[in-house]
Amino acid sequence: MSPLSPLRMLWSSGHSWDSLSQSHPTLAASFCRLVLPGSLLGTAMILFAASFHGDVYGPEVSFAHWALISLLFMLTNWLAVPLMAWVIRQSVHAPARPAFADCYRLAAIAPLPIWLSTLTLLLPYPLFNMACGLLGLLASGALTYHGLDALFEHDDSVSTQSMAYTVFSVGALVWLFVVALLMLPLL
């Protein structure tokens, strides 16, 4: 894969998706290569923001509270990916259900833009952070749509769009749950 491959995956159901469809990593491999680094990045960025810019996000919140929230964030991510893999597996309209490991791989790829958006926590600008988080969510939706088309449907049809809307809706609800979890210290 070239350095531009991940960007192309946002716009096309071909390109890098073709090479991904040829490989079938195990659940453990997908977890170790995608979910673990992404969730650890998000967790580390929350702790960084709490350490250096905590007064901007929650002036009266203790670091111990932030540490608990970051731990919950990481665990929620670890549970959300298999949940989304199950939703993807149930949503695919095929004669035989796809392998759970393939659905897990797509469910692990989709949140990468959201996890990368946590890098904006290096800057103490909450509105900028929220805007980038929303852009990450939209990019996640694009990855979901093109991944469903490339890995399972192969026809860029209305059924692919319908399936993508279903999966993205559940994913957005899960994302809102995670965001609500992060807002707990501010209450």
User: Do the beta carbons of residue 84 and residue 159 sit within 8 Å?
Assistant: no
pLDDT tens-place string over residues 77-109: 999 999 999 999 999 887 788 999 999 999 999
Q: Measured between alpha carbons, how far is 134 from 36 in angstroms, rounded to an integer?
A: 22
Delimit the domains of the chain by residue range: 5-186
Whether 61 contacts 78, CB under 8 Å: no
DSSP assignments along 21-34, one per residue? HH----HHHHIIII
Tens of pLDDT, residue by residue over 4-63, are 677 788 888 877 888 888 888 999 999 999 999 999 999 999 999 999 999 998 888 899
The DSSP secondary structure of 57-95, one letter per residue, reads H-TT--HHHHHHHHHHHHHHHHHHHHHHHHHHHHH--SS
* Other CB atoms within 10 Å distance of the CB of residue 154: 12
Whether 2 has a pLDDT exceeding 70, the answer reads: no
Cα 114 to Cα 133: distance, rounded to the nearest angstrom: 6
The pLDDT, as a whole number, for residue 75 is 94
Query: Rounded to an integer, what distance in angstroms lies between the CA atom of residue 158 and that of residue 45?
Result: 38
What tens digit of pLDDT does each residue of 43-55 get?
A: 999 999 999 999 9
Question: In which band, very low, low, confident or very high, does the pLDDT at 112 lie, cut at 50, 70 and 90?
Answer: very high
Tell me the mean pLDDT in the region 64-68: 91
Token pair recorded at residue 88: 């993807």
pLDDT score for 175:
85
Per-residue pLDDT reduced to its tens digit, 113-151: 999 999 999 999 999 999 999 999 999 999 999 999 888
Q: Could you tell me which residues come within 8 angstroms of residue 66 by beta carbon, excluding any fewer than 6 positions away? A: 46, 47, 50, 54, 58, 185
Entry pTM: 0.91
- Rounded-to-integer distance, Cα 62 and Cα 30, Å: 34
The structure tokens 């170790």 sit at 32
